[in-house]
């Protein structure tokens, strides 16, 4: 199988990064993606891991014991009134633990401002040998592939990448033709999950957020052409399973939920010739 699989933190938000390393290793994942940039979301724990802290030492020990690797850290958002230089401690800690990539998204409509900030973000990440994977999120400022490509073409940074999430790709009505038009070198990773085929109106932010954070489907269970999207990318694109489902996590427990996430994704992609 060409694709490697990563466990995204949003799938198992009750686990610390160290717990993710131990459990993902046992379940057969190749990588983990951690949320070591505190977003201040209500009810979400602070998983920041300052260099030299107890959390940092625990995660480093877990990685060394299991051989698990961190693929990406998140989420370096471009926000009104923010300064991306504030992410440097998280970049430094993540890179020192072997992280290869930073996830970013843009949450403002001020184009000149967000292009300037994203360029600065790429330059900061480059100092730590990391790529910046810009995700289009259906309810964000930059919400579709066209918007992401405009940013990448404007900043012209060699470490800038496209991050396609299958849920947002479907719900932002990005076609397979659009995905195929993106140079394959720009796809280092993707988030995969499934969802109902019906697309809520973009103005119905509550419905969009509910599925995105609370009720994504196992791959192959819904109406998204996940295989078609994956086939538009490089064969070595890392597939990060971002599949939060609060009810199932409560029913099965995080370990079984994470196991089912990986097993169903592998089986679906194999059956559909996208493995």
List the domain boundaries for the chain: 5-271
Confidence of residue 89 (pLDDT cuts 50, 70, 90): very high
Residues 108, 83: Cα–Cα separation, whole Å: 13
DSSP-based helix, strand, coil % in the chain, nearest 5: 45, 15, 40
CATH code 3.40.50.720 for 5-271: no
Confidence of residue 43 (pLDDT cuts 50, 70, 90): confident
**pLDDT above 70 (res 177):** yes
C-alpha gyration radius of the chain: 17
pLDDT score recorded for residue 39: 85
- The DSSP-derived string for 77-101 is EE-TT--GGGGHHHHHHHHHTT--E
Residues 111, 150: Cα–Cα separation, whole Å: 10
**pLDDT above 90 (res 212):** no
pTM of structure:
0.95
Confidence of residue 78 (pLDDT cuts 50, 70, 90): very high
Confidence of residue 13 (pLDDT cuts 50, 70, 90): very high
Listed in order, strand segments (DSSP E) in the chain are 5-8, 31-34, 69-78, 101-106, 131-135, 160-165, 189-192, 238-241
User: Would you state the structure tokens that stand for residue 131, as one six-digit string?
Assistant: 């790529």
Q: Which of helix, strand or coil describes residue 7?
A: strand
Over range 193-197, report the average pLDDT. Answer: 96
């Amino acid at each position: 199988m060409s694709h490697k699989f990563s466990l995204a933190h949003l799938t198992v938000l009750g686990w610390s990064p160290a717990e993710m390393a131990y459990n993902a290793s046992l379940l057969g994942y190749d990588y983990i993606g951690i949320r070591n940039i505190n977003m201040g979301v209500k009810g979400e724990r602070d998983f920041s891991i300052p260099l030299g802290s107890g959390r940092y030492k625990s995660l480093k020990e877990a990685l060394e014991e299991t051989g698990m690797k961190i693929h990406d850290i998140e989420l370096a958002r471009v926000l009104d009134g923010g300064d991306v230089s504030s992410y440097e401690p998280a970049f430094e800690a993540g890179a020192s633990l072997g992280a290869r990539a930073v996830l970013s998204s843009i949450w403002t409509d001020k184009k000149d401002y967000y292009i300037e900030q994203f360029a600065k973000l790429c330059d900061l990440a480059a100092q730590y040998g990391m790529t910046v994977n810009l995700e289009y999120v259906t309810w964000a400022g930059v919400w579709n592939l066209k918007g992401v490509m405009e940013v990448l073409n404007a900043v012209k940074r060699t470490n800038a990448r496209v991050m396609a999430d299958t849920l947002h790709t479907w719900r932002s009505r990005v076609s397979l033709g659009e995905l195929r038009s993106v140079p394959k070198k720009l796809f280092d990773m993707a988030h995969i999950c499934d969802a109902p085929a019906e697309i809520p109106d973009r103005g119905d932010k509550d419905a969009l957020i509910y599925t995105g954070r609370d009720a994504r489907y196992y791959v192959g269970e819904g109406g998204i052409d996940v295989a078609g999207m994956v086939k538009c990318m490089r064969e070595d694109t890392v597939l990060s399973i971002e599949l939060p489902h609060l009810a199932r996590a409560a029913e099965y427990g995080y370990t079984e939920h994470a196991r089912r996430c990986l097993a169903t994704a592998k089986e679906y992609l194999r059956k559909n010739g996208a493995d």
